Structure 1
Amino acid sequence: MLVVVCLVPSTASAQVSGGISGTLLDRSTRQPLPFANVLLLRLPDSTLAGNTQTADNGTFALVSVPLGHYVLRAEALGYQTTRRSITLNATTPVLRLGEWLAAPMVVQLDGVVVQGEKAVLVEDLDKKIINVDKDLNSVGGTAADVLQKVPSVAVDENGQVSLRGNASVTLYLDGKPAPSSLRLDQLPASRLETIEVITNPGARYSAQGAGGIINLVQKKQVKDSWNGEALVTVGTRDKYSASLNLGRKVGKFNFYSNVNGLNNEFRGSSALQQVAIAEGRTTGTDQTGRAVRHQVNKALRLGVDYAWRPEQTLTLTAEFYKNDLHQTNHFTTQLTRDTDPTIILQNQNPEVDDLYTMRVGSNYRHTWAAYPGRELTASATYTLDGGTVTTEQRVLDGPASYTRQARRQFLDVTIHLPSAQIDYVHPLDDKRRWGAGVKTDVMVTPGTAEYTVQPVPGAEFIRQEANSYRYHYQQVIPQAYGSYQQKNDHWDYQVGLRAEFTGLQARVLPMGSTNQRIFNLFPSATVARTLPHHEQRLQLSYSRRLNRPNFLQIVALPIYTDARNYMVGNPALRPEYVHVAELGHQVTWQHTTLNTTLFGRFANQAIQSLRTVDTLATRLSGQPDFITRTSYANLGRTASYGMEVSLTQPVTTWWKLIANGSFYRNQVASYTGSGTRANFTGTAYLLNTFSPTKTLAVQLSGNYRAPLVVPQGRLLAVYGVDVALRQRLFHDRAALTLRVSDLFDTRRQYTRLRAAGLTTNLQTKYETRVGYLGFTWFLGTSKPASSIDNQPKGDTGGFGG
């Protein structure tokens, strides 16, 4: 309140010169148009008197404008340029336009419709947006395939995402925390409208996620009458997917739905070499394997928007997802110990995951036409994750001492995730506004981990009490934030402060329990400057963030990945705290856009994964090999700092080029807790889009991730090339897409680890060279997704609190 009172006198003085404000919306959908350019041209010579960009909610403001006659012009990608005549005088020095509607770009020329198109990748200084439908290399693929296009993003064969070498990335689904069971490599790309990557979020975003936030925005049709699309895709070697998106807008109601299914089978291979010194003897494991992974996913999403007034909208959604995974690994294992005879085993490790997610949510949005920029949003969601995970380890052939028993672990999981939040934005005048919000996230997960042994083949599995557990985990995170933003000529300032309290309790019976109570403040600040010539913008931002240990990292619950390796949480693990700073520059001339970002990310109490030899388990096993244990620890400091560059360039009228890359120094603490490990690393991505005819589009892309150090070793380089083409058919009522991923079959994962008395070399290669053929039929009033006016609109759900 003191800040508001102190700033009131400046309001009166600012109005002497004048100002203009408003909200730019899509004419057909009434959705906000962010990042649009708003230009103020002086009459009669049309010289530039001022310019700005619309915010996320479509609002804009021009301040300190001299009195006079002007033309106000709005330019948004894929929309017709919109103009308004403006007069500012002593009687009306400040003009509030309210809602300003922009029409999609459609020009009729002798029966030919020319429509504006979205870019595959849209770069802004604080956000990167991938338009999934424009990425032909995502057809038949997953969200993990799409994310390979983002600068500094890497996705491994398990769907784990890292950003600038940091794997602590928070996933959102339609602006809300995603279910814990969500895996990017199992989420069909056909379900998504856009993917937003936010590298340095401000105070209105949750502080969780040291690497940043990835928001997955699902499709939502908003055109009048029935509309939608149906997609069927077939891939080589038993890969099938189908999806149906339907929507209907009737009066104040907009109904939308999505149903999709995926049935994929992937084959893979692996090679593992480990040497350990245990009990004073040197033991070696040389293992080769082959795997078959069969995944079946089903999803249903229903939603309705009700706008009982132009300024008020209520949204209700209900979603159900079913994920089934059957994976079988066959290994040939060669064991050696000093000069003892070599032992050769034939192993089989089957795994069955039977998981489900149910999610219901509501969202209320209230704006005021008389007060552009004022907005109130409130939402509540409840997510239920559940299911079972069964893993087994069998020895099919080998010495009698190995083949007597089969081991099985059965995990029964239930996770309750209620969440509620309220956000409010209030403009003080045309150039100042403040915002605030509160939010509470709750996670409750009771479950059991049952360990059983089969004495001989064909016998019943017998429960082992000493290795079976019951657990209960509860986490409550109340949060609140406040932010203040001010525009001054070509400057834009924003500061914010977020407060979060973390209270958790974890019990594992019969082992014990742990409790944590942590309160944190997270400041953030952004300063931006609009520069003359070629629509340039310079932005400096800072934020403090954290990485909370997840459930499996903190609960002392052994998870057996195979007969010789297990994972267990660390109850003493504490959050990792991160300072993030970015300096970005964006310049646009004609159709070319160049983004350059210098960044630094510095973490304390870094959470790292460590693999060691468990000497006690090795001794108790009574076998001539060794048992490894993977757990987590807070290991000193990590840092990554460097530069990202992204270029969007039309080479000719039929060839468009997107190139981006990063080069940075990655530094982590050594696994011993003293000293550091560092290397220069980076990523590169190149996308060529060709339009040889009016109905044919071809995309050729390639990506590269350089080697990356970790506390115990390094991850070697990963690279590949993809190609795709899309042919529109039947007067744009349908489209046929053909793509081949990893054309030269080069994508594979190499990991090299070193620890006290342990050396590990691991290579995994899943089936990545796959051919997909997809057929899309556009229903009702829909047209191919390449056109702006018929693009399905996603529901971001609103961030904050």
Structure 2
Amino acid sequence: MVPGTLSAQTPGEVSGTLLDQSTRQPLPFANVLLLRLPDSTLAGNTQTAENGTFTLANVALGNYRLRTEALGYRPARRLATLSGATPAARLGAWLVAPAAVQLGSVVVQGERAVMVNDLDKKVINVGQDLNSAGGTAADVLQKIPSVAVDENGQVSLRGSSGVTLYLDGQPAPSSLRLDQLPASRLETIEVITNPGAQYSAQGAGGIINLVQKKQRPDSWNGEAMATGGTRDKYSASLSLSRRAGKFTFFGNADGLNNQFCGSTALRQVATVGGRTAGTHQTGRNTRHQANEGIRLGVDYAPGDQQRLTLTTEFYKNDYRTTQDFTTLLTHGSDPVINLQNQTTQAENLYNARISGSYRRTWAAHPGRELTASATYILDGGTVTTQQRVLDGPGSYPRNARQQLLDVTIQMPSTQVDYVHPLNEKRRWGAGVKTDLMVTPGTAAYSVQPVAGAEFIRQEAGSYRYHYQQVIPQAYGTYQQKAGPWDYQAGLRAEFTGLQALVLPSGSARQRLFNLFPSATVARTLPHDQRLQLSYSRRLNRPNFLQIIALPIYSDARNYVVGSPALRPEYVHAAELGHQVAWQATTLSATLFGRFASQSIQSLRTIDTLATRRSGQPDFIARTSYANVGRTAGYGLELSLTQPVTPWWKLIANGSFYRNQVASYTNDGTRANFTGTAYLLNILSPTKTLAVQLSGDYRAPLVVPQGRLLAVYGVDVALRQRLLHDRAALTLRVSDLFNTRRQYTQLKATDLTADFRTKYETRVGYLGFIWFLGTNKPASTIDHQPRGDTGGLGG
């Protein structure tokens, strides 16, 4: 009897991996309950890890029922028996089906929340965000804590512009602009603030992954959408997917044709040759953008453990800008010169992309996974800029100037990742990747002697260039779980080799090898709480236009040129986050710090040589780049999801941090306290009507030569479901009070400049969407889960 008694007292263990039934993707942070039979009393519970694995240890022997609770999925149940002969129950891959409850003729499906705030990732589910209907990716990003998007679509995170854009988990084309990417093309947007070793080290400010719409597990579905906006703004999109046996075919097409009006003002004062000169410009501008794109793909699953995906896409972007402005030139006590100027810019860009990926899992070894992918991107087009003097004194030159940039960029990339579990609580991973970029191009400068004549090429201002960059990379990670603790450590190695040749101005060459460590420690606390500490070292490589000595003229008095001496910016980033959930409320708080050396900054100065050569009573301003000392940013970020009533839900987030940058003279620092705030009200006054009211604010921010003033606005949108949930009508108004504008103040040696830009931001949009197949619109907010964490997939 004694051996039998001792065996009965040996604790048992239950483990497994929770996977999506259709995609076989892991389901992180799902609840697993252990119920004792026959009375179904609770014997234990746990939460799945990021790879979907779970373990219930120290379980008494006996008969049990396991029950899963994953947001947006049906509850699933399994039986387990622990005995002296088999004290461990290893369930392997446990497939869970998405939620879909049939109520009469209406299907109510589990939905994603508008915004998911995890400790190391923020996810916006674009389809649930009514305030992005008819808009662009830039409109969506304005809602994420510490994210800011300027008037040119450039994004910054926590004051850092060193943010890397990804498209479906791969580096995005260099021509991709967030303010030209239709929101209808996207499924989710993921902001990863402190990536681990499995991610590229590029992006000192973090990674923004744009996830495009893909296939769904149903037999066939899709949606067709058309949106019209005030003053000539139109967009349309169509997405379809069809499952046939082991194949799933998917595709989407979209088009956008928008026109925006705005106003600009520039005031520059400089001291040149002991005399004060000033340029004061005011004017109006129009921007016209036309984008068309198509994306086709096929997914082949020969079995539950293998999946092969092939995708091809092509996008064409046409962008036209016309600025008509009045220029007042002052030079000492000389008479004021009054000019009527016009600047036009035409961008004709294209992007082609072919990608393939393979994924292999092993049912007998849960958590073991091999993925491989290859991508080829062809990116190119022309940009033509012209400046004209329409009216002015007879002595002032009237010839028009033109710069034509012709560029082709090829970016092939290959990647292999492998994850191997050592046991239920330990695993290691490794991967290799190679990125290549080759871009030859020309910049032709020409002059039109008189109106209507042909432009004559000027060899003195024309250039040819060739840029090549190769980045081989490798990484390794180790992860271990010990009770409530999770540990992960990683090391990434990257070599950067670049070579640039600009004729006739010169060349640049760099060879750099760097190691990038990262580590994360997390602890699960009682009452649905989680604490996480993470660290990573990252870098911000200058792009090829920042490093080659190629002048690009924005108008007759201002140009931008790269700096061959520019080096990467290196960053140490750390975060301490806490997340707690009770019932339907979620609160996340993150303390963060970001410390950079060799900070890359844009600097504006007077080009005294070009000013003298111009022979005119004005001056030429030059913008270039330099590694300017150290920068730092540290502060607090908060995110709250709070239901107020069954028909009213609040999502609030914000940040407050100290932003510190090196002075442009490199003799000290400039700093201020700044931050962002965003509040979203989600209301469901009826079963078929959803309303979203949101407001955002970005506080003033210092830069090495000045500061950016505050930007704020309010948006409102509503969606009415129609025709038994087969369609929906969306109405939204962006920047309801017309307050969003850009205001920049700069100061350098012998130069001060103020820039004011007011684009057309108050726009009304009316959109109609028709749901095809099994696809359905969002239902009321009381059915919304907190959402899932998305994922880059390594």
Asked if the contact 1:354–1:388 (Cα under 8 Å) also holds between the matched residues in 2, the reply is yes
Counterpart in 1 of 2:67? 73
In 2, the alpha carbon distance for the partners of 1:713 and 1:755 equals 9
Match of 2:316 among 306, 317, 322: 322
| Cα distance, 1:659–1:628 mapped onto 2, change above 3 Å | same
- Judge which range, 360-369 or 42-51, deviates more: 42-51
Counterpart in 2 of 1:674? 667
Match of 1:421 among 415, 421, 427: 415
In 1, the alpha carbon distance for the partners of 2:339 and 2:516 equals 53
| Cα distance, 1:65–1:129 mapped onto 2, change above 3 Å | farther
Q: Does 1:591 align with 2:584?
A: yes
Matches within 5 A, 1:419-568: 419-533=413-527, 535-568=528-561
Matched position secondary structure for 1:220: coil
Matched position secondary structure for 2:93: strand
* One-letter amino acid matched to 1:722: D
Q: Does 1:211 align with 2:214?
A: no
Matches within 5 A, 1:121-136: 121-136=115-130
| Cα distance, 1:16–1:345 mapped onto 2, change above 3 Å | farther
Matches within 5 A, 1:656-667: 656-667=649-660
Per-residue CA distance 1:73-126 (angstroms, 9 max, x = gap): 322222233232333334333333222222333344566654433210011111
| Cα distance, 1:48–1:559 mapped onto 2, change above 3 Å | farther
| Cα distance, 1:773–1:784 mapped onto 2, change above 3 Å | same
Matches within 5 A, 1:633-644: 633-644=626-637
Asked if the contact 1:585–1:596 (Cα under 8 Å) also holds between the matched residues in 2, the reply is yes
**Structure 1 residue 455, shift from structure 2 partner:** 1.3
Matched position secondary structure for 1:146: helix
Counterpart in 2 of 1:725? 718
Matched position secondary structure for 2:657: strand
Match of 1:776 among 762, 769, 775: 769
Match of 2:568 among 562, 568, 575: 575
| Cα distance, 1:67–1:487 mapped onto 2, change above 3 Å | farther
Counterpart in 2 of 1:371? 365
Counterpart in 1 of 2:48? 53
In 1, the alpha carbon distance for the partners of 2:467 and 2:679 equals 44
Matched position secondary structure for 2:565: coil
Per-residue CA distance 1:726-747 (angstroms, 9 max, x = gap): 0000000000000000000000
Per-residue CA distance 1:6-35 (angstroms, 9 max, x = gap): xxxxxxxxx975543323223344443233
In 2, the alpha carbon distance for the partners of 1:796 and 1:477 equals 27
Counterpart in 2 of 1:761? 754
Counterpart in 2 of 1:608? 601
Asked if the contact 1:115–1:787 (Cα under 8 Å) also holds between the matched residues in 2, the reply is no
In 2, the alpha carbon distance for the partners of 1:790 and 1:733 equals 19
Matched position secondary structure for 1:299: strand
Counterpart in 2 of 1:6? none
Counterpart in 2 of 1:265? 259
In 2, the alpha carbon distance for the partners of 1:576 and 1:786 equals 46
Per-residue CA distance 1:545-594 (angstroms, 9 max, x = gap): 00000011101000001110000000000000000000000000000000
Asked if the contact 2:474–2:492 (Cα under 8 Å) also holds between the matched residues in 1, the reply is yes
Asked if the contact 1:204–1:482 (Cα under 8 Å) also holds between the matched residues in 2, the reply is yes
Match of 2:406 among 401, 409, 412: 412
**Structure 1 residue 50, shift from structure 2 partner:** 4.1
Counterpart in 2 of 1:700? 693
Matches within 5 A, 1:37-116: 37-41=31-35, 46-47=41-42, 49-55=44-50, 57-63=51-57, 65=59, 67-109=61-103, 113-116=107-110
Match of 2:622 among 629, 648, 663: 629
**Number of aligned positions between the proteins:** 783
In 2, the alpha carbon distance for the partners of 1:665 and 1:797 equals 30
| Cα distance, 1:87–1:502 mapped onto 2, change above 3 Å | same
CA RMSD of aligned residues (A): 2.0
| Cα distance, 1:126–1:67 mapped onto 2, change above 3 Å | farther
In 2, the alpha carbon distance for the partners of 1:627 and 1:493 equals 55
Asked if the contact 1:574–1:634 (Cα under 8 Å) also holds between the matched residues in 2, the reply is yes
**Structure 1 residue 159, shift from structure 2 partner:** 0.7
**Structure 1 residue 459, shift from structure 2 partner:** 1.6
In 1, the alpha carbon distance for the partners of 2:297 and 2:99 equals 28
Matched position secondary structure for 2:299: strand
Asked if the contact 1:397–1:403 (Cα under 8 Å) also holds between the matched residues in 2, the reply is no
**Structure 1 residue 48, shift from structure 2 partner:** 5.3
| Cα distance, 1:377–1:771 mapped onto 2, change above 3 Å | same
Asked if the contact 2:497–2:512 (Cα under 8 Å) also holds between the matched residues in 1, the reply is yes
In 1, the alpha carbon distance for the partners of 2:176 and 2:524 equals 39
**Structure 1 residue 240, shift from structure 2 partner:** 0.3
Counterpart in 2 of 1:652? 645
- Judge which range, 392-401 or 243-252, deviates more: 392-401
Matched position secondary structure for 1:182: coil
Asked if the contact 1:386–1:415 (Cα under 8 Å) also holds between the matched residues in 2, the reply is yes
* One-letter amino acid matched to 1:646: S
- Judge which range, 485-494 or 75-84, deviates more: 75-84
In 1, the alpha carbon distance for the partners of 2:59 and 2:536 equals 32
| Cα distance, 1:356–1:796 mapped onto 2, change above 3 Å | farther
Asked if the contact 2:498–2:511 (Cα under 8 Å) also holds between the matched residues in 1, the reply is yes
Q: Does 1:691 align with 2:684?
A: yes
| Cα distance, 1:379–1:782 mapped onto 2, change above 3 Å | same
**Structure 1 residue 716, shift from structure 2 partner:** 0.3
Unpaired runs of at least 5, structure 1:
1-14
Counterpart in 1 of 2:289? 295
In 1, the alpha carbon distance for the partners of 2:432 and 2:175 equals 26
In 2, the alpha carbon distance for the partners of 1:112 and 1:224 equals 16
Matches within 5 A, 1:391-402: 391-402=385-396
| Cα distance, 1:545–1:375 mapped onto 2, change above 3 Å | same
Asked if the contact 1:174–1:795 (Cα under 8 Å) also holds between the matched residues in 2, the reply is no
* One-letter amino acid matched to 1:159: G
| Cα distance, 1:790–1:53 mapped onto 2, change above 3 Å | closer
| Cα distance, 1:101–1:380 mapped onto 2, change above 3 Å | same
| Cα distance, 1:54–1:190 mapped onto 2, change above 3 Å | same
In 2, the alpha carbon distance for the partners of 1:16 and 1:456 equals 96
Counterpart in 2 of 1:278? 272
Match of 2:736 among 731, 743, 747: 743
* One-letter amino acid matched to 1:394: R
Matched position secondary structure for 1:582: strand
| Cα distance, 1:112–1:249 mapped onto 2, change above 3 Å | closer
* One-letter amino acid matched to 1:481: Y
In 2, the alpha carbon distance for the partners of 1:39 and 1:719 equals 45
Unpaired runs of at least 5, structure 2:
1-8
- Judge which range, 24-33 or 216-225, deviates more: 24-33
Matched position secondary structure for 1:402: coil
In 2, the alpha carbon distance for the partners of 1:94 and 1:170 equals 45
Per-residue CA distance 1:199-245 (angstroms, 9 max, x = gap): 00000000000000001001113233331000000000000000000
Per-residue CA distance 1:664-708 (angstroms, 9 max, x = gap): 000000000110000000000000010011110000000000000
Under a length normalisation based on structure 1, what TM-score does the superposition of the two structures give? Answer: 0.95
Matched position secondary structure for 1:618: helix
Matched position secondary structure for 1:410: strand
| Cα distance, 1:795–1:353 mapped onto 2, change above 3 Å | farther
| Cα distance, 1:126–1:17 mapped onto 2, change above 3 Å | farther
| Cα distance, 1:327–1:134 mapped onto 2, change above 3 Å | same
Asked if the contact 1:357–1:385 (Cα under 8 Å) also holds between the matched residues in 2, the reply is yes
* One-letter amino acid matched to 1:662: S
Q: Does 1:235 align with 2:234?
A: no
Matched position secondary structure for 2:564: coil
Matches within 5 A, 1:192-203: 192-203=186-197
* One-letter amino acid matched to 1:459: A
**Structure 1 residue 484, shift from structure 2 partner:** 0.1
Counting aligned pairs with the same residue, the percent is: 76
Counterpart in 1 of 2:3? none
Counterpart in 1 of 2:5? none
Matches within 5 A, 1:160-199: 160-199=154-193
